[in-house]
Amino acid sequence: MGFRHFSIGAKLFRRFGLASLMYRLHSFSCEVSGSRSQWKKITHSGGKESAVSTQGFRFVHASNVLVDHQLRDTGPLPDKLRQIAQDATLTAFERIVDLCIEKSVQFLMLTANSFHHRDRSLRAQTALCSGLRKLGEHGIQAVIVPGEHDPLAKWLRIPNLPDNVQVFDANSSSITVDHENMGSLALISLADMDFDESEHADGWGSPLSISIYDGPVDFAVPHEAEADEDESMVDHSAEAADSEEAHFQEPQAPEPAEASVGYEEAEADEVLETEDFDELIEIRETLGNYAGDYVAVVDAEKSFTVDAAHGIAHDPGTPQAIKPSQSGPQGCTLVEVDEYKNLILRPIRVASVRWERPEIQISPETTQNDLAKAIEDRFRQIETHGGESLWLINWTVRGSGELFEALHREDVASSLLVSFTTQLRFSDEAHVQHSIGLLPDWQHRTTGESVLLMDFLSTLESEMPLDTDALIHLVDGAHGVEGPWSGRLRALATKLDPDAVMASAYQQGLDWFKDDFDDAQ
């Protein structure tokens, strides 16, 4: 099998104001799965494959853990299932800790947003300290790189952080495991990067790089901007210790109990090159400006690995989805560097709550039985993963015609949901909750409607697919919205479901302009 030569780098790029980091790993090879039957090996060692055998090591990379941050838009849930949802991010972090111990890793790397400082969560503080302390008891280091929502200032105010924890700041020098330096972090300026800020309003943040060499190396990180001093995490460590056992029990689904325990190691063929992201072009262009090869992208909504100009880009994904748009299995990445400097990336599923957003297309001729059959067939195609206790399936029905209009009626939609709940279940796997969302099919709009309505629908169509980035752009461009209101609306935009916004706009247009058309008639 042939080899392609390049070094390794990683970048966490800015989306919606999040901090950007770039990790560059030098002088070892990288393996990502290229097919179901064999690994694709990518190596770099000064242009030649290394024949030097060194002691291997492994670590776990997780990002956006957001311990004790609550899930959004779950809909109404029974008490037992609501408890699973409330503890979901705690469960994911506990499973990451257990994974590190079971796999005997050298260190856990948490990059960006391990907690959200505005939550002011005592449970988050307690869970983090407890989990990190547990790692220390097994000789495992924890490397923390602060982010947008867990800035350095907030980490420094957490009392009694275990001795095995390294929180990087401008004065940090190295990651040390068993008295050996594992790698280096160095700030790389983007000043030389040819980047048009006018086309990308969010911009890119300053990246960091990690380098791993044959010998000891040092780490350096940029100074993080400190958050407002009046929003610190409060020291309630005594109270937290008393309540820790009650707060951090593994959430159990009523049946079966084993469904919510543990994590699942993905098959090798799940680490595949991904080609369905608009960001990929930007990633490739960015990589072209650096000598690095491994780009770890944060906040791309899902885990992916992509071949870029001079390297690969990888996002370990969010350990636990926070909102419906983060659909599919979620987890972290187990990274292993073997004695021959081969790097193997393997995703590990740790989420207990999973969203899915399957879409069903209907036409004016589709009957309710046809729709039910299409939904059942699509449901049977979904693959489950171990450790998932609760599935939240948001069905999107796209189309037009009598059935589509009828689904706007609560009695028709409720009837379908009742049948889903009783028939579409995973036996002995996970509990399932269903909901239905409606999106119009612009291609099947009938004639005979007002010019205003048709113009309105055409304008909506030009905005599809709507995403959170587009909503924020609309807020920024709104006339007369400035100061505190602009900040509030931007924060609100990140919490909205773009599909629901589009569906609401569609229904509003029908209500407004159909009435005008009927009056004119």
Name the residue range of residue 80's domain: 4-349
| Count of structural domains, the chain | 2
Mean pLDDT value of segment 25-33: 31
pLDDT-derived band at 269, boundaries 50, 70, 90: very low
Mean pLDDT value of segment 441-457: 64
For residue range 377-396, what is the model confidence (pLDDT) as tens digits? 888 888 777 788 888 888 88
pTM over 0.75: no
| Residue 277 or 77, more confident | 77
CB atoms within 10 A of CB 274: 17
- Are residues 342 and 364 both part of a single domain? no
| Residue 61 or 230, more confident | 61
54-63, 278-287, 327-336, 424-433: segment of lowest average pLDDT? 278-287
pLDDT-derived band at 167, boundaries 50, 70, 90: confident
Mean pLDDT value of segment 222-226: 32
Interatomic CA distance for residues 143 and 165, integer angstroms = 6
Last-in-domain residue among 327, 349, 371: 349
Say if residue 202's pLDDT is above 80. Answer: no
Last-in-domain residue among 349, 367, 393: 349
- Are residues 371 and 319 both part of a single domain? no
- Per-residue pLDDT at 94: 94
- Are residues 380 and 274 both part of a single domain? no
- Are residues 337 and 359 both part of a single domain? no
Say if residue 429's pLDDT is above 70. Answer: no
- Angstrom distances, CA of residue 205 to CA of 20, 42, 73, 79: 4, 27, 30, 42
* Helix ranges (DSSP H) in 138-271: 152-156, 237-247
- Are residues 129 and 270 both part of a single domain? yes
229-233, 303-307, 422-426: segment of lowest average pLDDT? 229-233
- Are residues 274 and 313 both part of a single domain? yes
- Are residues 22 and 154 both part of a single domain? yes
| Residue 106 or 223, more confident | 106
Q: How many secondary structure helices (H) and strands (E) does the chain include?
A: 13, 23
- Are residues 358 and 217 both part of a single domain? no
Tell me the two tokens of residue 329.
Answer: 């299995």
CATH of the domain at 196: 3.60.21
Interatomic CA distance for residues 331 and 316, integer angstroms = 7
Interatomic CA distance for residues 330 and 167, integer angstroms = 25
Mean pLDDT value of segment 249-278: 40
Interatomic CA distance for residues 255 and 430, integer angstroms = 8
CB 85 within 8 A of CB 390: yes
- Whether the bond between 465 and the residue before it is cis, its omega within 30 degrees of 0, is yes
- Are residues 92 and 236 both part of a single domain? yes
Last-in-domain residue among 349, 379, 412: 349
Say if residue 458's pLDDT is above 90. Answer: no
242-246, 303-307, 431-435: segment of lowest average pLDDT? 242-246
- Are residues 337 and 370 both part of a single domain? no
pLDDT-derived band at 364, boundaries 50, 70, 90: confident
Three-state SS at 119? helix
- Per-residue pLDDT at 343: 67
Interatomic CA distance for residues 21 and 219, integer angstroms = 14
CB atoms within 10 A of CB 37: 8
How do 57-63 and 107-111 pair as beta strands?
parallel
Three-state SS at 474? helix
- Are residues 393 and 341 both part of a single domain? no
Tell me the two tokens of residue 498.
Answer: 């773009």
For residue range 137-166, what is the model confidence (pLDDT) as tens digits? 999 989 888 888 888 888 888 888 898 888
Three-state SS at 196? coil
Residue whose C-alpha is closest to residue 269's, from 32, 99, 41:
32
- Are residues 160 and 252 both part of a single domain? yes
